[in-house]
Copies of this chain bind each other. A is one copy, B any other.
Amino acid sequence: MTTVVQKYGGSSLADAERIRHVAGRIAREHAGGARLVVVVSAMGDTTDELLALAAQVTDEPDPRELDLLLATGEHTSGTLVAMALHALQLPAISLTGAQAGIRTDSSHGRARIANVEPERIQRELETGRVVIVAGFQGATDETHLTGEVTTLGRGGSDTTAVALAARLGADRCEIYTDVEGIFTADPRQVAQARLLPVIGYEEMLELAQQGAQVMQTRAVELGWVNGVEILVRSTFSEHPGTTIREDLDVEQRNKVRGLATDRRVAKVTLVAVPDRPGVARTVFDPLAEAGINVDMIVQNIGHSGATDLSFTTPAADLARVRRILEPVVRELGARELTTDADVAKVSIVGAGIHNAPGYAARMFGTLADNGINIEMISTSEIRITCIIRKSDLELAAQALHAAFELERPEPVETGSGSSE
């Protein structure tokens, strides 16, 4: 019997009408005879609203309490989806993350899934029910008296869905969202952006890390490690979407697959840091302890025994970064700490990039031709990223999309494993 895991995001469940629409989609799938597990996010902006409520009470909410608070968002949407299915005469039950057997470590706010105990889900599936699972959450132990509710971090519902698909040996894992799939660039920025029928895990990972917000990177990693094919598609249309899977055609294609852009970054620079061993650790250890993501790191070779150390970080963390690094700057004897939130990231991603040095030159040349200054550069095997002015971002995305001919379909589109 076919087992399908579907995940519906917050915008797909934003109000009662959309919840009924989602129930209709689930009912159609159910009519096809599949055993169905449906992972839900919180309705609309619920998570942000709960965070705002906590912020009204205290500046620094305890992570353990915050997890218990945020987990209510998915309980709410899960029960409502189950009720909407009942209204369609479908047998259904909603389970909390804990009830669904999602066991995590105890890192509140960014817990990792340690294990999925599938007994309860399997029992419910065997009785013919559609099983709704609250995404984004788990529990540290199997009894109420000893277990704590945890959350998996932003976008964690994707991770819940992929983990369940892996554990249940699902035939399909479908991520329903408010876009039709993965595009070569953000269609709001680049009108020529083209939907990709297939993308490799590694490429998707780089796109997601560099700002494409459709899928959480951890979910892609988990899918990659467990060989779960992930279909990303729209709740609101019948478009077949994008399949994320091992892409065997990559070597043949040898091409840039997509662009990612990110406005939510800031650049931090420690100016004139004395050039001695251990500086980087002194700077980055306290940031890591605070759970702050540091992305591109560039150290300029200095004059007179001092260097400038720059890195990027999410703009939302900038105030915390300042608070943490100001004493560090004094301790190191650096001249000053400067921050710049008017920057943005633009990346090109493609599994062919490492074989073709010409891509870097073409990227830098295209930006130069458009009068766009590059402030920082970083590269991976399959990606080149530049930091530019935020005001140049749209122009950069459009120029690069054209330069790499991303609007043209790849010559080799579908391999033998395609589900399209």
Interface string of A46-59 (1 = CB under 8 A from B): 00001001101111
Q: Is A96 interfacial (CB 8 A cutoff)?
A: yes
Contacts of A78 in B (CB 8 A): 68
Contacts of A147 in B (CB 8 A): 99, 144
* Residue in B71, B119, B144 whose CB lies within 8 Å of A99: B144
Min Cβ gap A45→B in Å is 15
- A146→B99 CA distance, assembly (Å): 8
Q: Is A69 interfacial (CB 8 A cutoff)?
A: yes
Q: Is A86 interfacial (CB 8 A cutoff)?
A: yes
* Residue in B15, B61, B144 whose CB lies within 8 Å of A96: B144
* Residue in B64, B76, B93, B96 whose CB lies within 8 Å of A50: B76
Q: Is A117 interfacial (CB 8 A cutoff)?
A: yes
Known: A65-B83, A79-B69, A86-B62. A16 touches B56 (CB 8 A): yes
Is A68 a contact of B54 with CB atoms below 8 Å? no
Q: Is A177 interfacial (CB 8 A cutoff)?
A: no
Interface residues of A in 79-96 (CB under 8 A from B): 79-80, 82-84, 86-87, 93-94, 96
Is A79 a contact of B99 with CB atoms below 8 Å? no
Min Cβ gap A74→B in Å is 10
* Residue in B16, B99, B144 whose CB lies within 8 Å of A57: B16
Closest to A84 in B: B57
